Structure 1
Amino acid sequence: MSTTAGDLRSASSLGNWRTPIVIIICGCAIAMLSFGPRSSLGFFIQPMSREFAWGRDVFGLALAVQNLLWGLGQPIAGAIADRFGALRVMCVGALLYAAGLVLMRYAATPLSLNLGAGVLIGFGLSGCSFNLVLSSFSKLLPPERRGLALGAGTAAGSFGQFLFAPFGVAMIDNFGWQTALIVFAALMLLIVPLSLALSTPPVPAASVAASDQQSFKTALAEAFGHRSYVLLVLGFFTCGFQLAFITVHLPAYLVDRGIPAQTGGWVIAAIGLFNIMGSLSVGWLQNVFPKRYILSTIYLVRAVSIIAFISFPITTFSAIAFGAVSGLTWLSTVPPTSALVALMFGTRWFATLYGFAFVSHQVGGFLGVWLGGIVFEKFGSYTPIWWLSVLFGVLSALINLPIVEQPVARPVAQPA
């Protein structure tokens, strides 16, 4: 695997103030801010649906569109960041995110809800979410710091979920859902100054070492012709399906079972809190154990925990326990998945190739949210989607086992 000098650039060469710790702290803050509000949008389903007489399928479709466009926009944002630097991509993403939350606050029709919560927030997330943060970490930090930094960046997103879930519920209960969305929008603007620390330099074609010159099309052809990358992408679908369905529909599912809405907030918060431990642990474990085994274990544990959760009566204790177990495996797939992409193909086109893997994740998220709303409106129950999540978990546990953890073989140029 070849790497460019830019890939290994330390913070000291980027500016005296941008030390590794500053880069990691600012990146974690961005991940926390960007992930927090979108993980709390499920709490807006019931108050908005009551006010506008919408079914859950209406809100489900808007958030499904958000997940899909987040995924589709990710490789585009990643390619722009790889070529022209991450700063402007993150700033534009934060502004789109804030605009989407404002439009969502004033949404009075399904169309305006889809434009705000779906289109603007979806594209906004593709530009300023933890995916771009992890890409910047991979480019700005030396190799020995990347593993822990990737885990920390992922854990920071979970900490945002831990903070914003009860905060969002409290804002809705005390000030109304409209005020909560405006406050969320204002907080997204903080990403703009924070992104200065994660600015990556543009990569002119002339400055790239000859051994590392690889076009966008060549990088894609190499990746999608690589069996292990394809398996990794397919397995990532399940992660998106499960996470999006649970994030959006679990609060309403618990209320349907007689659990107070405040408890739902703490369950989502417990997921975020325990995922901090899960992501940091996996960030360390991937230096000790094969990453494919870690991924298989995560997917299998998710499937077993879902079976246990839906097979017994729902209580406050069982709901929080499910949140804790889910949290340990929540975004824990991200550090080994991103590390495998970097291991296989290097960091030159990392944001792009991880972005395409994330498309699979978000297609799964689109189907998880959308089918959850459709199935509930048709059958009055989420049970079929829970069992579909179990099936996908088992399949992904098997799919990740044959992955080969080594750099892709590339022809070496021979002297004339």
Structure 2
Amino acid sequence: MSRRSLLKAGGALMTVLVSPVALGADTKVLAVRVWPAQDYTRVTLEGGDALRYTAQVVKNPERLVVDLEGVEFNSVLQSLPSKIIDADPYIKLIRAGRNRPGVVRLVVELKGEIRPQIFTLAPVGNYGHRLVLDLYPTQPVDPLLALIEKSTPENAAAGNTNPNPELAKADPAKIDPAQPKLEITRQTIEITPDKRTETIQKTRVTRLITIALDPGHGGEDPGAVGRAGTYEKHVTLSIGKRLKALIDNEPNMRAMLTRDADFFVPLGQRVQKARRVEADLFVSIHADAFIKPEARGSSVFILSERGASSTAAKWLAQKENAADLIGGINVGVRDSHLARTLLDLSQTATLNDSTKLAKAMLSEIGGINTLHRGAIEEASFAVLKAPDIPSILVETAFISNPEEEKKLADEDYQDKMAAAMLRGIKRYFAKNPPLAKSKLAMLE
């Protein structure tokens, strides 16, 4: 065979080898997920390779248009419209289809104006490459509004769960998180040096105790998964809602959930929400796993910057602190104020109060489940770093233990755990009343 013929044959072989790859060069979308919530709605597209895109907001009517470049229009993308529910606060519907050769267009029809954040995530955990569309309202949801229904001690005592219509219209920025009740009494006193007698008003301000409840994980971040398929994120939300109902039924307390549905909340935002409502306590709820399935029992953690109290505690903290990577945060958006406050861990009084709360909680949940160690544990959990709020993290049981997974999935156990946690909170306040935030003023 001549040299020219050999080269032609080699070229033909290369064509055979390369063509199939070229024909399959389009990136496949492997999964699409939608997480609707009042805080924001998240749409996630997961691909086998990095997803290239362009996006723009279109007015009249409000739409978000996203062009996916080099993406195959497959059955997964075709299923995206069916994942939108009528109750979604922000999305009316999604249309998906081929726009032009090599480009798939998504048109998100909106229920109103939004503030989108669109970003990509590198593979992590069980996830491949992700493209995230976070659709936020133009006016961020304020956690104070969640407390309006129990705005005054009078409403709480009367069992009034209907929000005041006028208060509901109020500017959240003007709502006092303490929601004070003014008790005005008149008192006659003698004033020197002229011995005049005058009547003055003494105004005492009392308020509801506010508890921030933090159901761990959510949305893209499932948390630990038991052998029988129980998701930690579902267990923590269920217990959190049960505990909130119990707290709200107390005449002098109210609770705020950092998430009230299945959606992802970054660790820093969980702390920020608690500080926004000036919470008296922060209780993070978890049901974690360990590398050994025989690990069992409930635990209560407080913050430690000196190191973990055990190897298991260190492992759990590292796993929990990776939640932002799994759930997916937009690293282009930072809260500098929060970043500064989280560095201020010198409030010894706050850590001391956290220890007292942990002891009270441990004594109560020990009657519901075996304690993992029988003592307070310490680790560097990111959600415990509020500098001015006593904070604890409760591991309700090990979901990686088959016996305890059954407990965690049982509604009766969830009720008992929530009731025990309420008793722990009340035990703490019985010895440590929240006097620091009470206000006493003398007005003429």
**TM-score for the superposition, normalised by structure 2:** 0.27
Q: Which has the higher strand share?
A: 2
If you compute each CA radius of gyration, which structure gives the higher value, 1 or 2?
Answer: 2
Q: Which has the higher helix share?
A: 1
**TM-score for the superposition, normalised by structure 1:** 0.29
